[in-house]
Amino acid sequence: MSLKIGDIAPDFTLKNTQGEDVTLNDYRGKKVLILFYPLAFSGVCTKELCSTRDNLKIYNSLNAEVLGISIDSFFVQKAFKEANNLNFMLLSDFNKEVSEKYDVLYDEFFGMNKVAKRSAFLIDEEGVIQYAEVLEDASNQPDFDQIQTTLADLG
């Protein structure tokens, strides 16, 4: 069942690039933009996350934290973060539990089973989803203009 605006964002705990546990509930009281992406080091994912890096000041000015999530191991996430100078947290959903909770898994993606779809979820300070976009075509990117407008409207 797809998550939609108004739903409570499912809590999770995932490893960051240092192998430390990060829990969504730790961000209660803050706005959080979760970006699921298929695979580190792939072309569109690199473009998306580097664009997010370059625009992080916009999210910071709107008091939002950004979390990038893929099914890659936290070792791969660490290399990807370092290679691209990413200035926000990446999390490993290697066991695909969070991607399942958020209903963002492809059954098959270029011969690989259960890869995260490119998706964006904006969660408010109370843990309520205020923006949800799940893209079926991995070559597309989330509507960052609409995400930023929604963030600004949240105040």
Positions annotated as catalytic residues are 45
Q: Residue 42, Cβ neighbours under 10 Å: how many?
A: 16
**Interatomic CA distance for residues 123 and 59, integer angstroms:** 13
Q: Which ranges constitute the DSSP H helices of 2-143?
A: 43-54, 56-61, 74-83, 97-101
**Interatomic CA distance for residues 39 and 69, integer angstroms:** 9
Q: Residue 113, Cβ neighbours under 10 Å: how many?
A: 10
